[in-house]
Structure 1
Amino acid sequence: MKINKLVSVITPMYNSENFIEVTIQSVQSQTYENWEMIIVDDVSKDRGPEIVERYIKKDKRIKLIKLEKNSGGAVARNRAIKEAKGKYIAFLDSDDLWHPEKLEKQIKFMEENNYDFTYTWYQKMDEEGNLLDEVVRSEDKVDYTRFLKSNQIGCLAGMYNAEKLGKIYMPLIRKRQDYALWLRVLKKVDYGYCLKENLAQYRIVNGSVSSNKINLIKYNWKLFREIEKLSIFKSFYYLSWNIFTKLILKN
């Protein structure tokens, strides 16, 4: 079965001159070629936009949008989603990478099984790009209630069918935006399904919000209470599950 559906790749960028080039190259190296890469610059102060513009001259599938004021990752991603024309929407941050077969295998997985929301395994790497001995392996499938207990889907690994589900946007919170997005998607489907292959590389940048565990606890609480509108009891219950999963089961 030949599949030729357009995929929109959503990439927010802020001061990413050290990484954006290899990120773009990982998309250009995809064996699946029908994609558009929408990069939204959140008022970078480095040469990131110049690097992107150099690639645009040679590859019209790459697009650059410049925000007028620094607004955060959620606003940047949502602007890209608004401009997206693809049947499928996938996410790749400006410092992460995809394996060459990522799009081809994931789209085939979705088309052949009629899945509207899928994700893959991915591997962590350090800031310099050295692979770490840690592959994040997600469960075979998740539903909304199960997912409240733990976010197993990396932003770089998830993909949803916008033609079927409509465009689904991220809430305007500073962190846990991907967690909140997947919860929104899971309200529209019975399950999200895992393609059990390591097809991406997640970069751990020193000093990032995601590397601060105390901040993650705070943002999870905000997500449960303010975005999902859960009761204090349920918020504490699911927050406890997240901490247990991250700190105890992982070890």
Structure 2
Amino acid sequence: MNPKVSIIIPFYNCSYVNLAIESALNQTYENIEIVLVDDGSTKFREKIKPYKNDIVYLKKTNGGTATALNHGIQNATGEYIAWLSSDDYFMPDKISNQLSFMLENELDASFTNYDIIDKYNNVIIPWHCKRFSNINEVYMDFLTTNVINGCTVVIKKSVFEEIGLFNEVFKYTHDYEMWFRLLTKGYQIHYLDKVLTKFRTHEESGTSKYHQEMLKEMKIIEIHYQPLLIQYIICNL
């Protein structure tokens, strides 16, 4: 039987959540569990009601995206974990394509390219991620920028059991810290050259509202991890 994939959807007052859920439900890959974590939402919860029989619904007090992701991962029963923000959506063949790539190459983690869309679902920047030809390029580019969009990643759940969950200290850049932690501990995140996720830009997104806070957190993460990543590259690549 094909391994189960748990799609974790953190949700907090997001008007697009129904589109995210539908994209998860419409995956061509069949062995999927959808875990929606309501992070203390006070708005748009009615958009979840039509899907409650088809998803695992978890409710918690508000604590931020990292806490919601961690709660979802801890309660997930899948062998693999995918993260879908409630304002983004997956292409129907996202899980099928990416999991096949991982199983064929015996990978623990992978990421893909993505399109940036507007609030009306129009593609405004196609293929936004740099395209990589090998893992060495991923390591080298990570020294200067975050090359990985969290909603394009699929990771074996056992990896989280080995290195820990998302660091809840970093409210806005927990994903950036996680990718550094994976890479410096020897877990390679391989690139699949396909667009399988639509990443939405809009006025209420965290990227738009908390840009300065993100930059401050990123600086702290880079000061700690960049020397470790350089050392890893020197010793292993």
In structure 1, the gaps of 5 or more residues are 239-251
Given candidates 128, 138, 160, the residue that maps to 2:155 is 160
The corresponding residue for 2:88 is 96
**Under a length normalisation based on structure 1, what TM-score does the superposition of the two structures give?**
0.80
The corresponding residue for 2:127 is 135
1:207 Cα deviation after fit: 4.5
**Conserved? CA contact 2:6–2:81, under 8 Å:** yes
1:194 Cα deviation after fit: 0.7
In structure 2, the gaps of 5 or more residues are 231-237
Q: Deviations over 1:79-101 (max 9, x none)?
A: 00111111111110101011111
What is the distance in 2 between the residues matched to 1:201 and 1:189?
29
The corresponding residue for 2:39 is 42
What is the distance in 2 between the residues matched to 1:188 and 1:210?
27
The corresponding residue for 2:77 is 85
Which amino acid in 2 is paired with 1:154?
N
The corresponding residue for 1:247 is none
With over 3 angstroms needed to count, the CA separation of the structure-2 counterparts of 1:144 and 1:183, relative to structure 1, is farther
With over 3 angstroms needed to count, the CA separation of the structure-2 counterparts of 1:229 and 1:104, relative to structure 1, is closer
What is the distance in 1 between the residues matched to 2:128 and 2:225?
28
Question: Structure 1 residue 124 and structure 2 residue 116: aligned?
Answer: yes
**Conserved? CA contact 2:182–2:188, under 8 Å:** no
**Conserved? CA contact 1:116–1:189, under 8 Å:** no
What is the distance in 2 between the residues matched to 1:134 and 1:19?
20
The corresponding residue for 2:47 is 51
1:219 Cα deviation after fit: 2.0
**Conserved? CA contact 1:176–1:220, under 8 Å:** yes
Calculate the aligned-residue CA RMSD, in Å.
2.3
**How do residues 161-176 of structure 1 correspond to structure 2 at under 5 angstroms?**
161-163=156-158, 166=161, 168-172=164-168, 173-176=170-173
**Under a length normalisation based on structure 2, what TM-score does the superposition of the two structures give?**
0.85
